[in-house]
Amino acid sequence: MKHLMRTFALPLLVLAAGPALAHNPMCECEELPGAQVKCTGGFSDGSGAPGVTLDVIGYDEQVLVGGKLGDDSTLTFKRPDGEFYVLFDAGPGHVVEVDYADIAQP
Amino acid sequence: MSQVQAVPASPLKQRWLKWRFHLNILLILIPLGFMPKYFADARLFRGEAGLGANVINDIQVGPYTLDLAEMRDEPPRADGPAGHFKVFNASLCKACVNGVKAAYLRIGKPRSLRAAGTIFFGAPYNMGTSLPIPPRTKPDAQVWITLEGWDGSMHQASVPLAKASPATVAWLEKQGGKK
């Protein structure tokens, strides 16, 4: 037992010291059939973002759709007419903007 | 009478027994080779080596001034599906420290204070942030600095990306605006 512990002590310690992960916010949107848009939010360390604010804002700064991401970190809404952008807002300075031109049409 | 016989050790075992002590010395020497990089990094992170590369001094943002620099003179780094990021450092002027509540950085003019970009964190004299670089950024893009004051005021200024980070512009041109 003691021998086993000695053998594995170093590898275990190396594994336990997890690398310092950045967690940059990210948001991806795709268009679904029926003029619906589905946006998925999250962080680059792999964690989801349930409950985070996601607003759809027109180019005139009017909030068209205000919502929060569901338990699966997604929000589906009807695609507004005209020019807009999606703002994934996880707090000041932790935002992602997705322009309507970047939302792929099916 | 005991019949203990020395087991003839294999040549490999013999070499191991002979050289393992010297191998230990080698294991001590290997980290020494990484020392210069370690100390250079420590100096950079503590701010003793200055703010970073391509420092732009005294950028006037409303009533305040600040210095901006990229952490390292290198192209943006990938962070998985979140895209590419570039670390910038900034330092507020001594007189500004009490007036400024938050500093933001963004490529292109922010649409609103809410979408002012990525926020600087850390001590006011040596703040850092990682700026997302959209793949379709034009090489002549501007980096916008937004300062939010405790009095609720908002001040903005911009510097050319080509001046703030030539390596990023070179990287964008190599990409050719694709993707």
Q: Answer for the pair B73, B53: CB distance below 8 angstroms, yes or no.
A: yes
Predicted pLDDT of residue A13? 65
How far is residue A45 from each of residues A39, A67, B71, B79, measured CA to CA in Å?
18, 24, 22, 9
Q: What ipTM, to 2 d.p.?
A: 0.73
Tell the residue number behind the tokens 């050719």, with chain if given. Answer: B176
For residues A12 and A48, the answer to whether their CB atoms sit within 8 Å is no
In a domain, A64, yes or no: yes
Q: Is A75 helix (H, G, I), strand (E, B) or coil?
A: strand
Contacts of B82 in chain A (CB under 8 A): 24-26, 43-44
**Does position B178 have pLDDT exceeding 90, yes or no?**
no
Contacts of B115 in chain A (CB under 8 A): 87, 95, 97
Summarised one tens digit per residue, pLDDT across range B41-91 is: 999 988 888 899 999 999 999 999 999 999 999 999 988 888 899 999 999
pTM, rounded to two decimals: 0.80
* A75 domain residue, yes or no: yes
Considering only alpha carbons, which residue of chain A is nearest residue B81? A44
Please name the member of A44, A57, A96 whose beta carbon is closest to the beta carbon of B80: A44
Q: Which tokens in the block code for residue B162?
A: 């080509």
Query: How many structural domains is chain A composed of?
Result: 1
Contact A95 B114 (CB under 8 A): yes
> Considering CB atoms only, which of A22, A87, A95 is closest to B130?
A22
Interface of B with A (CB under 8 A): 79-83, 85, 102, 104, 111-112, 114-121, 129-130, 132
Residue A8: per-residue pLDDT: 76
Structural domains for chain B: 10-49 (no CATH), 53-175 (2.60.40)
Does A1 reside within a domain?
no
Q: Which residues pair with A89 in a beta bridge?
A: A53, A95
Cβ neighbours of A85 in B, within 8 Å: 111
Chain A's closest residue to B110, CA to CA, is A97
Closest C-alpha to B80, from A55, A65, A73, A42: A42
| Bridge-based pairing state of the strands A74-78 and A36-43 | antiparallel
Q: Answer yes or no: is A12 within a domain.
A: no
pLDDT of residue A18 exceeding 70: no
List phi, psi (to 5°) of B34: -90, -5
CATH number, domain containing residue A72:
2.60.40.1930
Structural domain includes residue A8: no
Is it the case that residue B101 has pLDDT exceeding 90?
A: yes
Select from A53, A94, A95 the residue whose CB has the most chain B CBs within 10 Å, as the one to mutate to test that interface. Answer: A95
The dihedral region occupied by A91, where left means phi > 0, alpha psi between -120 and 50, and beta the remainder, is left
In a domain, A2, yes or no: no
Task: Please tell me the predicted confidence (pLDDT) of residue B91.
Answer: 94
Q: How far is A32 from chain B (nearest CA, A)?
A: 21
Query: B115 to chain A: nearest residue by CA?
Result: A95
The answer to whether the beta carbons of residues A44 and B80 sit under 8 Å apart is: yes
- Bridge partners (DSSP) of residue B69 are B89
Residue of A28, A44, A84, A86 to mutate, testing the B interface (most B Cβ within 10 Å of its Cβ): A44
- Kindly state whether A22 is in contact with chain B, defined as any CB-CB distance less than 8 angstroms: yes
Q: What is the pLDDT of residue A15?
A: 64
Give how far the C-alpha of residue B160 lies from the chain's centroid of Cα atoms, to the nearest Å. 19
**Is A63 part of any domain?**
yes
Residue numbers of the domain that contains A44: 21-102
In contact, A23 and B80? CB cutoff 8 Å: no
pLDDT average, residue stretch A92-96: 90
Q: What is the DSSP letter of B82?
A: G
Distance in angstroms (rounded) separating the CA atoms of residues A28 and A104: 10
- Structural domain includes residue A47: yes
Q: Is the pLDDT of residue B2 over 90?
A: no
